[in-house]
């Protein structure tokens, strides 16, 4: 069952990327010639909560019993993490990070991140950006691409920079600062 789930998740992501690139070309020409591109920067704090009564990150696939490495290679977690204005979980929630991350490196703790930042407040309420890339979690600053968006972030592209604010080694809980730089119309 987990092999099927892995295949389904990866196939869905790959198919989505192909469909977006094929249909975007015809839509872009008509839509974009009347729009001016702008750069938006915003900062949010991503709360990955693995413990307690209401975790926001749950394991959906564990590494093979044959793998004994220290990187967690193969571990996959589904997330619905709060995005807040400040590092404290009690600060104003402005959105949710929804998607998954997987330990994709056998040599270091390197994650494949696939998530949407769904904005729930302010001018961009109802809009999303999609982040898809590699996250070397022990690097001070990690950069991942923004590959798309919806709503006011339609045709988005750009990047995010992630910096770990707090990591609790006992629980696995983390707070990560995300600076998002998004070009959109």
How crowded is the C-beta side of 114, counted as CA atoms within 13 Å?
15
- Rounded CA separation 170/114 (Å): 25
Look up residue 120 and give its two tokens: 């729930």
CATH of the domain at 85: 2.40.480.10
Look up residue 126 and give its two tokens: 């109802």
Q: Where in the sequence is the domain holding 157, given as residue range(s)?
A: 34-184
pLDDT digits (tens, 9 = 90+) for 69-102: 888 999 999 999 999 999 999 999 999 999 999 9
Instruction: Kindly state whether residue 12 falls inside one of the protein's structural domains.
Output: no
Q: Report whether 129 contacts 144 (CB < 8 A).
A: no
pLDDT band at residue 20, thresholds of 50, 70 and 90?
low
Name the domain count of the chain: 1
pTM over 0.85: no
Instruction: Kindly state whether residue 9 falls inside one of the protein's structural domains.
Output: no
Interacting residues of 31 by C-beta distance below 8 A, sequence separation 6+: 155, 185
Please work out, in degrees rounded to the nearest 5, the angle formed at the alpha carbon of residue 178 by the alpha carbons of 172 and 184: 145
pLDDT digits (tens, 9 = 90+) for 141-156: 999 999 999 999 999 9
**Which stretches of the chain are DSSP H helices?**
2-32
């Amino acid at each position: 069952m987990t092999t099927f789930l892995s295949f389904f998740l990866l196939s869905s992501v790959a198919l989505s990327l192909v469909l977006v690139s094929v249909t975007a070309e015809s839509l872009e020409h008509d839509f974009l010639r009347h729009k001016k591109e702008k750069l938006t920067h915003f900062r949010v704090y991503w709360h990955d909560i693995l413990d307690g009564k209401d975790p926001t990150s749950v394991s959906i696939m564990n590494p093979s019993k044959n793998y004994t490495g220290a990187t967690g290679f193969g571990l996959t977690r589904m997330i619905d993490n709060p995005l807040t204005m400040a590092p404290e979980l009690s600060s104003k929630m402005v959105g949710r990070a929804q998607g998954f991350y997987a330990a994709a490196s056998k040599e270091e703790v390197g994650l494949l991140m696939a998530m949407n930042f769904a904005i729930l407040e302010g001018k961009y309420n109802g809009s999303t950006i999609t982040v898809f890339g590699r996250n070397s979690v022990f690097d001070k600053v990690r950069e991942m691409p923004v590959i798309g968006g919806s709503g006011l972030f339609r045709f988005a592209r750009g990047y995010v920079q992630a910096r770990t604010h707090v990591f609790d080694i006992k629980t696995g809980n983390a707070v990560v600062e995300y600076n998002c730089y998004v070009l959109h119309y």
